[in-house]
Structure 1
């Protein structure tokens, strides 16, 4: 008779518990296939920009209420944020939902899919925790205005992440052609830091034909700063980005412009380097003000910190996504030249921000009308649902396995 050692019995017991949880999560999410698709379509077909996501807020909170969850609407002082939570004791896992769109091109970053996947993951894990009676808390947090408004940064300041959170979890859609080989997703998604700011130049109006010498031209200040920054781009690192627009450039040509406003993003792979680059960019604005005789005023938006990879969380996500048939790349050490306010969360609590593939034209990534169209397809929805199952299982492991939770905490504390 073969002897079964205690650790083997423990391993078998753990496997049975994981299999039971996985079956419950999958069954719960699959049972809600129709309402989840409806939620996705509602958000996709009614795109709203940051802090104006009224329809998305109503759609998501309405679905949660319909399933019996108690929902806090307008959470943490943000009118389009929300929160729902179940469970008690144990560890806490938070799923972050994004649902804002881009001006004029709708859900060209696929936040309808992010909202759907986080909603499905929350429902799947929350239902399973209640059904199996395990200790632990599961929360969904609605995070508005990721596209430049820094919703998560404001939520951090408002105390949304002050609890002892073992993991904050979400994932973002990407064009399938961005993944190498047969990979259909990415666990360790690395993104760069971004400072966002507007600069107002104030001068003095005058008749441009009769008495231009009495004017102080704020448009000259805006143009001078734009040109200076364009020249600065030749002297920055290849993995850094500076990009901006003139939002207000004056009214009519025969009046010296008294007021202009520019809007800029300053990006670098780490927050330290982004701070250094911002100092150089500000020198361009200040030189333009001095040379034209204008005054300037900075209007800072929330800074997006670089997104840090938590290898423990990534490792288990890769394993669980294999069960739904997805081959996930563990991590990408080269950061993509984009930014997210989930980076701020990754500096606050152990965090996971993965990526899942959706079909998109070969020349298209995000922030393009064709990507918005792709984000509304059945194929994209199916990918989001598979991702939801993987995220829910990741949350289960964090709640029930000390090795996973402690490893995630250790990775978080030792990241530079």
Structure 2
């Protein structure tokens, strides 16, 4: 290479790797500690403390708490762009069913007060471990980059509350405004593959609580009642017609009736019934159309029942459509291809949801969110060959979900550094 040649980012990353390497023993130990000690959403006291302890080793400004358990670490290194990278760190009310020595055995009171097992069944322990690893590299390789690196550690993703809580607690005013936001998620797929795409990656979602009015009477006197369970059954039936007959077959929508609640005993027609729906979309336009149809059906069926009281419709557990900015994607993806070669692949759209977009939307900046495969390659390839991926591969939120550590954390580390250095490399 001549003196006038500009080294590629891949070449710069090789120089960084040769000058500083994350201590694999430290990072593995950190991961195992996090995995063995999951905490439920918005209850992450010990995880919050652990992250603060780890950040204490670095030359950064720590802003905490933000939204009770959120943490932001700001690494300043002269003039240049600002880049924010986010990781979530809450666990799930799932009892772990793996044989690893660092499996979680924690049992805590659940929302109903009954004991419940806890587990990092979604890979947030990997996310947090990788971001702390990235902090370690950024802190020790300042000669290779300039600008501002912002590491954001978020609680409460599993209930869709953590990002909003941080925004509501003044996140935008308390930390530098980034030029771009990054994030990633481990998912089933060949361990170590980096999967990315422009446009919709994760679905928009909402839950909807519908309260259906009726008139109570003894079970022997149905003529004196207006039975809300019958009305609920009609609504449930009509819900399937919304997706099947009102949504373009080339589009995508899910309307799931996740819960029906009515009555308290065996011989009384109840005074009301309650439905809880879960809805998912890749298009905000389709979402608006489906929600209008849901409200139309609910009001019409209640009116058809003969009751004059109005139903109530409450939206909650909102998740924004996660749609990657094409300009950012087209800037970072070539570097993923250069660093990972054939392991940089196109991501499939996923019907799961994330509250990550709430953070870049609050700042009004573009974002890019990619996926890291975490399934042992032999297991994944065998499942694909036999067309048994759904049966043979544990997925996020299952009690047997466990990323293959080495290739997963290696890809998570390198992808994070590649994306950030796309903007901050000298």
- Fold match, TM over 0.5? yes
Q: Give the aligned partner of residue 295 of structure 1.
A: 310
Could you tell me whether the CA contact under 8 Å between 1:124 and 1:389 is conserved in 2? no
Q: For residue 197 of structure 1, report the CA deviation from its aligned partner.
A: 2.6
- CA–CA distance in structure 1, aligned partners of residues 139 and 303 of structure 2: 58
Measured against aligned partners, the alpha-carbon deviations of 1:195-253 in whole angstroms (never above 9, x if no partner) come to: 31332415366443355555554434433322211232322344222223115333222
Given the two structures, how large is their TM-score scaled by the length of structure 2? 0.76
The secondary structure found in structure 1 opposite 2:264 is: coil
Match of 2:369 among 353, 359, 364: 353
- CA–CA distance in structure 1, aligned partners of residues 353 and 412 of structure 2: 21
The secondary structure found in structure 2 opposite 1:340 is: coil
Measured against aligned partners, the alpha-carbon deviations of 1:63-118 in whole angstroms (never above 9, x if no partner) come to: 2235565533330xx22211111215422111101123343364333222222222
RMSD: 3.4
Match of 1:188 among 191, 197, 215: 197
The secondary structure found in structure 2 opposite 1:262 is: strand
Which runs of structure 2 are paired with 1:313-324 in the superposition (5 Å)?
A: 313=329, 315-317=331-333, 319-320=335-336, 322-323=338-339
Match of 1:74 among 61, 65, 80: 65
Match of 1:234 among 226, 231, 244: 244
Q: Give the aligned partner of residue 82 of structure 2.
A: 92
Q: Give the aligned partner of residue 45 of structure 1.
A: 36
2:419 is equivalent to residue 394 of structure 1? yes
Change (3 A) 1:259 1:143: farther
Given the two structures, how large is their TM-score scaled by the length of structure 1? 0.77
Deviates more, 1:386-395 or 1:253-262: 253-262
Q: Which has the higher strand share?
A: 2
Could you tell me whether the CA contact under 8 Å between 2:38 and 2:90 is conserved in 1? yes
Q: Which has the higher helix share?
A: 1
- CA–CA distance in structure 2, aligned partners of residues 243 and 148 of structure 1: 17
Q: Give the aligned partner of residue 188 of structure 2.
A: 175
Which runs of structure 2 are paired with 1:5-44 in the superposition (5 Å)?
A: 9=4, 11-12=6-7, 18-24=13-19, 27-29=20-22, 31=23, 33-44=24-35
2:346 is equivalent to residue 335 of structure 1? no
Which runs of structure 2 are paired with 1:275-314 in the superposition (5 Å)?
A: 275-292=288-305, 293=307, 294-301=309-316, 302-313=318-329
Match of 1:255 among 259, 262, 268: 268
Could you tell me whether the CA contact under 8 Å between 2:92 and 2:397 is conserved in 1? no
Q: Give the aligned partner of residue 132 of structure 2.
A: 119
- CA–CA distance in structure 2, aligned partners of residues 79 and 176 of structure 1: 34
The secondary structure found in structure 2 opposite 1:47 is: coil
Aligned residues: 378
